[in-house]
C-alpha cells in the first residue's frame, strides 16, 4: 500500500469538508471553505497518481476553481454518469455543475493573479428549497434523483430529469439531518440525524420503513456530519456515529430484518464518515475465492480504517493520518484508490495492491450476483417502479420480478431519456459580400446560434490551457454591382427595385438554374416554379436494386413466416434470407394448350432447381420449419414443394376460388380467398379448416365495405383475422365458430386507461399473436365524450384486461397470458380490490388441503399455476395494503411445496 499527501491540493489552508472522485478517475472534486466564500475545486488526478506528471509543467494540476457559493461548501458529489457535479453548502442552495462544451479555458480566476482555470464549469441548475445549511448530498442509482439533507430536519428528493423540480420532501426527523445515502438497488434511501435515529425510507411511496434507534441512544451531537453508506451489493448499511459499551463504533445494519449485531470498532472518537467502494472484490481466503466489499471509516480521532466484509479484522488502520477530524471519503471505480479529506485542509490518497484486497468484479459478474440476490439486475431494476418489500420474496424460487415484465427477453432495455436538447439549425458558414453602385460594401448577415453549455460528454475535452478556435465563416465576394433595395423616398418601398442575385450555400450545386432564376428586367415580374417542378428538380427518386437480378425484375422482401407476393408484374424476384433467392417468370412461353410459368430457386447466386407451372403464380410463401415453398396458382391450386429440391410433397390442393392471401407457420398452412379461409397441417397432411365462410364476420357491416386488413396463422394452427373495422377474430376449432378477440373501435377499448399496456409487448414477433393483430387496429380512437362520474373508465379498464386474458388463453399464447395476468394484478392492487385479488390468488393456489400425498399442480397453457402465483405475490408484496394477503398465500404456497 502507498500513502500520498500532495501538498498542492489545498484550499489556501482552509478546511476541506468534502471530497469525491469522478467515475472515470480523471478528476477529483473538493469542497470547503474559501477566504470569503465557499469553494469548489477540481484537480487533475494524473498529477496526483503519477510522479512524472506531477513534475511536468505541461500537465495541469488544478483544472477549475469556482467560488459561486456565498458560504462554506459542505458536500460535493459526482453523478454516476459523471456528467454533473452537485455542491451544497451553508448558503442553503445546491448548485449542479456541468462542463461547458465550448469552454473559454485559460481564464484567470476572478480576484486572483496567477490561478488559471483549465476547464470551464457552468452552473446549470440552482436548487433552492432548504431553509437551513445543507450537509450532505447523494445521487440515486442511474441518476434519476438527487437527495439532499439539511439542518432544517428534512430530506429533499429532487427530480434529476426535471431540475429544479422537487419530487418529494421527507419529514420525520426531529434533529439536524447530517447524512443521506441510497440503497444501490434503489428500493430504499437512508438518513441519519442528530435526533439519534437512522431512518430507512421506501422509494415506492416515500414513507418510513424502519427507524433504528438503539445503537444511537448514548450518542451526542458532537459530529459535523453523519455520512453513512450502503454496501455495493445492498446487503449491509454501515452507520456513522454509534455507541457500543460506551465506545464509538460504526454499526453494521443487515438488510435482512434490519438487525444490528455487528460493529466496526477501534476508533477512540466518534465516526464522522463511512464510505463503501462501488466495486465488489474477489479475494482468495484459504483455498476458496470469496466476494467481499470494501468499507472505509473516518473518525474525529484523525484516523482512517479500511475493512472488508467477512473479515473480523481491518485490512489497515492509519493513525494520525491528519491533524484534524476526517470529514469525507471517496473510492475510485476500480476499488484500489481511497481518497480522504480532513478539517486540517489536507487530503490523503491510499493506493492498495490487488494482492491485499483482491480484484474488482466486472459489471457482468455484479449483475449475476444481483440476479441471484434480488431476482433482477440493476439495469432492469431501473425500469421498475414497484419494489419488493417483503424479505420472504428474496427466498422464493426462480427469477421473479417486482413489476409486470417484458415478455420479449431479447428486447433491449431502454434507458430513461435525458433532458431533451432541441437540435440547433444548421450554421451557414458563408457570408456574401456585395458592392453597391456608390462603392459601399454590403454583407449578408448569417445566423450564429448561442453556444450550448450542457455538454453531453465531458471527456472529449483535453486538459489544455487554451482552446480558442478561429472563425470558420468564409466571406464570398460577388463583384457584380447591385442597386440598393431602397427608393429615394424614405417613407415608401420602391415597387420596381431589382432583386439582387442570391447565392446560398445550402442549395445544391446541381439545382437547375431555372429554379433560382429571376427576371432581368425591372418591369418583368419573377416567375416562380410550380411546387411539383421544384421538388422534382431538387430530389431524385430512390431506386432499390438487388444483386444478380435482371433489369426488368421487380424485387420485394419477404418475412420468414408471413411472406407473400402479388401478381402485379409478369416477372419478379424475392430475396429470402441472405443466400436464398427465388425468381418467378409468369407466362414464360406460350403453347397451343396454354402458357407456361417458370420459377428458379437460387442459393449463393447458383441455380439449385427450376420448376414450371401451367398457370401463373399469384402468391407464394416459405416455411423454414419444414423447408418448404408453397405456391398458389391462378387455376385455384396450391402446390407444396421442398425448398431444397423443388419436388412436390403431395398433390396440389384445390380451392373453389382464387387465393388472395397465403402464409405458413410451423406445421400449418393458411390460404384465404375472397370469401373463405382454409388451414392445413401440411406435416400430417390433415385439414384443420376447409373453406370456412367469412360472410359471418362482415354481415353486421352491410352499409360499409369491409376488407381483411391482416391475416395471421399462429404456431398451433389458429387463424386470426383483423378487419378494417378494427375487429379481430380467431376461429376456434373446438368451438367450431369465430371468436372476437379484440375490437379497438368499441367504447370499452377506447375508454380504457390500460390500452397503452400494448407498448410493453413485441408487436412484430409471431410469438405474440394477440399483440401483432391488435397493433394493426390500434389507430381507432373513441368518439365518445362524457363525464366519468360513475367510474365508467375504471370499469372499462378492468373489462379490457379481462378480455385480453381470455383472448390470450384462447390463442394459447402463454407469454401474453402471463403478461396480461400480471397487468391485471397490478390494476387490482392499485384500485385496492382485495376481494377480486383474493379470488384470483385462490384459483392459482388450488386446493391447499388434501388427503392425497401426491397432489397434481394444475397448469394454464403449460404454465404451473403455483409458478404464476409466485410472480403474482411479488407484485402483491409491493403494496402496503396487501401485505396480509401476501403473507396468507405465501405461507400456504410454501407449506404445499414442503409437502410435495
Looking at residue 758, its pLDDT comes to 60
Return the C-alpha cell found at 2. 502507498
- Whether 862 is in a domain gets the answer yes
Looking at residue 378, its pLDDT comes to 65
Last residue of one domain, picked from the residues 363, 380, 397: 363
- Whether 532 is in a domain gets the answer no
How far is the C-alpha of 313 from the C-alpha of 838, rounded, in Å?
A: 50
- The cell 474525529 sits on which residue? 300
Looking at residue 801, its pLDDT comes to 86
Return the C-alpha cell found at 712. 395471421
How far is the C-alpha of 551 from the C-alpha of 569, rounded, in Å?
A: 13
CA-to-CA separations, 420 to 126, 416, 423, 588, 820, in angstroms, rounded: 19, 11, 9, 57, 32
Helices (H), 699-831: 747-750, 769-775, 792-811, 814-830
Last residue of one domain, picked from the residues 363, 382, 414: 363
Provide the domain limits for residue 306: 2-363
Q: How many domains does the chain have?
A: 3
How far is the C-alpha of 208 from the C-alpha of 190, rounded, in Å?
A: 9
Last residue of one domain, picked from the residues 644, 662, 693: 693
- Whether 891 is in a domain gets the answer yes
- Whether 722 is in a domain gets the answer no
Return the C-alpha cell found at 641. 414443394
Which pTM was predicted?
0.51
883-899 helix and 834-845 helix, angle to the nearest 10 degrees: 10
Looking at residue 276, its pLDDT comes to 96
- The cell 489556501 sits on which residue? 12
Task: Kindly report the CATH number assigned to the domain that includes residue 638.
Answer: 2.130.10.10
How far is the C-alpha of 601 from the C-alpha of 604, rounded, in Å?
A: 10
CA-to-CA separations, 650 to 5, 641, 861, in angstroms, rounded: 86, 8, 33
**Pair (173, 322) in one structural domain:** yes
- Whether 398 is in a domain gets the answer no
Q: Single out the residue of 778, 773, 842 nearest to residue 813, CA to CA.
A: 773
H-helix or E-strand spanning residue 837 = helix 834-845
Question: What's the burial of 735, exposed, middle or buried (CB within 10 Å: 0-12/13-18/19+)?
Answer: exposed
Residue pLDDT, tens place only, 22-75: 999 999 999 999 888 899 999 999 999 998 999 998 899 999 999 889 999 999
Q: Which residues of the chain have pLDDT under 50?
A: 105-106, 111, 385-389, 396-425, 427-428, 454-471, 482-569, 575-578, 780-786, 850-854
Residue pLDDT, tens place only, 751-773: 777 766 665 565 555 567 777 77
How far is the C-alpha of 386 from the C-alpha of 384, rounded, in Å?
A: 6
CB atoms inside a 10 Å sphere around CB 887: 15
CA terminus-to-terminus distance, the chain: 55
- Whether 441 is in a domain gets the answer no
Looking at residue 848, its pLDDT comes to 59
H-helix or E-strand spanning residue 618 = strand 617-623
- Whether 767 is in a domain gets the answer no
Q: Single out the residue of 223, 254, 217, 224 nearest to residue 238, CA to CA.
A: 254
H-helix or E-strand spanning residue 678 = strand 676-681
- Whether 204 is in a domain gets the answer yes
Amino acid at each position: 500500500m502507498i500513502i500520498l499527501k500532495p501538498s498542492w491540493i489545498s484550499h489556501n489552508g482552509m478546511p476541506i469538508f468534502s471530497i469525491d472522485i469522478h467515475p472515470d478517475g480523471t478528476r477529483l472534486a473538493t469542497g470547503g471553505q474559501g477566504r470569503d466564500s465557499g469553494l469548489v475545486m477540481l484537480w487533475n488526478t494524473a498529477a496526483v497518481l503519477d510522479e512524472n506528471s506531477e513534475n511536468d509543467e505541461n500537465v495541469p494540476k488544478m483544472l477549475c476553481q469556482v467560488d459561486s457559493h456565498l458560504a462554506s461548501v459542505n458536500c460535493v458529489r459526482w453523478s454516476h454518469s459523471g456528467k454533473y457535479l452537485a455542491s451544497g453548502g451553508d448558503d442553503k442552495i445546491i448548485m449542479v455543475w456541468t462542463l461547458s462544451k465550448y469552454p473559454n479555458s485559460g481564464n484567470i480566476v476572478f480576484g486572483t493573479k496567477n490561478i488559471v482555470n483549465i476547464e470551464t464549469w457552468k452552473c446549470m441548475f440552482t436548487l433552492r428549497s432548504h431553509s437551513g445549511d445543507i450537509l450532505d448530498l447523494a445521487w440515486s442509482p442511474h441518476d434519476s434523483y438527487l437527495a439532499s439533507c439539511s439542518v432544517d430536519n428534512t430530506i429533499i428528493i429532487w427530480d434529476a430529469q426535471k431540475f429544479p423540480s422537487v419530487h418529494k420532501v421527507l419529514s420525520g426527523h426531529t434533529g439536524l439531518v447530517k447524512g443521506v445515502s441510497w440503497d444501490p438497488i434503489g428500493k430504499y434511501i437512508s438518513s441519519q440525524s442528530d435526533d439519534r435515529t437512522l431512518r430507512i425510507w421506501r422509494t415506492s411511496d416515500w414513507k418510513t420503513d424502519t427507524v433504528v434507534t438503539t445503537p444511537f441512544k448514548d450518542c451526542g451531537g458532537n459530529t459535523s456530519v453523519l455520512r453513512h453508506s450502503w454496501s455495493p451489493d445492498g446487503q449491509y448499511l454501515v452507520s456513522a456515529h454509534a455507541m457500543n459499551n460506551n465506545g464509538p463504533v460504526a454499526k453494521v445494519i443487515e438488510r435482512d430484518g434490519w438487525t444490528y449485531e455487528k460493529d466496526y470498532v477501534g476508533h477512540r472518537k466518534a465516526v464522522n464518515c463511512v464510505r463503501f467502494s462501488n466495486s465488489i472484490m474477489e479475494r482468495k481466503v484459504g483455498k476458496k475465492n470469496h466476494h467481499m466489499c470494501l468499507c472505509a471509516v473516518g473518525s474525529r480521532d484523525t484516523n482512517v480504517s479500511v475493512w472488508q466484509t467477512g473479515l473480523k479484522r481491518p485490512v489497515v488502520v492509519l493513525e494520525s493520518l491528519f491533524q484534524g477530524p476526517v470529514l469525507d471519503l471517496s473510492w475510485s471505480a476500480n476499488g484500489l484508490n481511497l481518497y480522504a479529506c480532513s478539517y486540517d485542509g489536507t487530503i490523503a490518497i491510499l493506493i492498495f495492491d490487488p494482492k491485499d484486497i483482491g480484484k474488482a468484479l466486472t459489471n457482468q459478474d455484479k449483475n449475476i450476483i444481483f440476479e441471484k440476490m434480488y431476482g433482477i439486475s440493476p439495469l432492469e431494476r431501473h425500469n421498475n417502479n414497484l419494489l419488493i418489500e417483503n424479505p420472504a420474496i428474496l427466498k422464493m424460487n426462480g427469477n421473479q420480478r417486482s413489476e409486470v415484465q417484458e415478455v420479449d427477453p431479447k428486447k433491449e432495455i431502454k434507458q430513461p431519456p435525458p433532458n431533451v436538447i432541441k437540435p440547433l439549425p444548421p450554421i451557414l458558414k458563408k457570408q456574401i459580400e456585395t458592392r453597391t453602385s456608390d462603392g459601399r460594401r454590403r454583407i449578408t448577415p448569417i445566423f450564429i446560434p448561442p453556444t450550448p453549455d450542457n455538454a453531453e460528454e465531458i471527456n472529449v475535452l483535453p486538459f489544455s490551457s487554451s482552446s480558442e478556435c478561429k472563425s470558420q465563416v468564409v466571406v464570398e465576394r460577388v463583384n457584380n454591382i447591385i442597386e440598393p433595395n431602397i427608393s429615394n423616398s424614405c417613407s415608401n418601398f420602391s415597387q420596381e427595385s431589382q432583386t439582387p442575385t442570391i447565392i446560398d450555400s445550402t442549395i445544391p450545386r446541381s439545382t437547375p438554374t431555372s429554379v433560382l432564376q429571376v427576371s432581368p428586367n425591372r418591369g418583368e415580374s419573377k416567375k416562380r416554379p410550380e411546387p411539383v417542378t421544384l421538388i422534382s428538380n431538387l430530389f431524385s427518386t430512390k431506386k432499390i436494386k438487388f444483386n444478380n437480378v435482371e433489369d426488368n425484375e421487380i424485387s420485394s422482401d419477404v418475412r420468414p413466416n408471413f411472406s407473400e407476393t402479388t401478381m402485379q408484374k409478369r416477372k419478379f424476384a424475392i430475396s429470402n434470407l441472405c443466400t436464398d433467392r427465388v425468381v418467378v417468370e409468369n407466362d414464360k412461353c406460350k403453347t397451343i394448350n396454354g402458357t407456361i410459368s417458370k420459377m428458379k430457386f437460387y442459393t449463393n447466386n447458383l441455380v439449385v432447381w427450376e420448376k414450371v407451372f401451367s398457370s401463373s403464380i399469384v402468391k407464394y410463401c416459405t416455411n423454414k420449419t419444414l423447408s418448404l415453398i408453397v405456391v398458389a396458382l391462378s387455376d385455384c391450386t396450391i402446390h407444396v414443394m421442398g425448398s431444397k429440391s423443388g419436388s412436390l410433397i403431395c398433390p396440389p390442393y384445390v380451392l373453389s376460388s382464387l387465393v388472395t392471401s397465403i402464409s405458413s407457420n410451423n406445421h400449418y398452412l393458411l390460404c384465404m380467398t375472397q370469401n373463405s379461409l382454409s388451414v392445413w397441417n401440411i406435416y400430417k397432411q390433415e385439414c384443420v379448416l376447409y373453406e370456412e365462410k367469412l360472410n359471418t364476420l362482415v354481415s353486421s357491416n352491410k352499409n360499409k365495405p369491409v376488407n381483411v386488413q391482416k391475416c395471421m396463422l399462429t404456431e398451433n394452427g389458429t387463424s386470426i383475422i383483423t378487419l378494417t373495422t378494427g375487429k379481430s377474430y380467431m376461429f376456434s376449432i373446438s368451438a367450431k365458430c369465430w371468436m372476437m378477440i379484440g375490437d379497438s373501435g368499441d367504447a370499452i377499448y377506447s375508454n380504457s386507461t390500460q390500452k397503452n399496456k400494448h407498448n410493453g409487448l413485441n408487436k412484430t414477433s409471431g410469438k405474440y399473436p394477440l399483440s401483432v393483430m391488435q397493433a394493426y387496429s390500434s389507430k381507432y380512437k373513441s368518439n365518445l365524450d362524457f363525464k366519468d362520474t360513475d367510474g365508467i373508465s375504471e370499469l372499462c379498464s378492468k373489462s379490457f384486461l379481462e378480455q385480453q386474458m381470455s383472448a390470450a388463453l384462447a390463442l394459447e399464447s402463454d407469454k401474453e397470458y402471463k403478461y396480461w395476468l400480471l397487468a391485471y394484478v397490478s390494476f387490482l392492487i392499485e384500485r385496492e380490490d382485495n376481494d377480486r385479488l383474493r379470488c384470483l390468488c385462490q384459483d392459482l393456489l388450488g386446493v391447499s388441503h388434501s388427503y392425497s400425498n401426491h397432489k397434481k399442480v394444475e397448469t394454464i397453457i403449460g404454465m404451473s399455476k403455483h409458478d404464476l402465483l409466485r410472480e403474482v405475490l411479488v407484485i402483491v408484496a409491493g403494496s402496503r395494503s396487501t401485505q396480509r394477503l401476501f403473507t396468507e398465500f405465501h405461507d400456504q404456497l410454501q407449506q404445499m411445496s414442503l409437502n410435495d
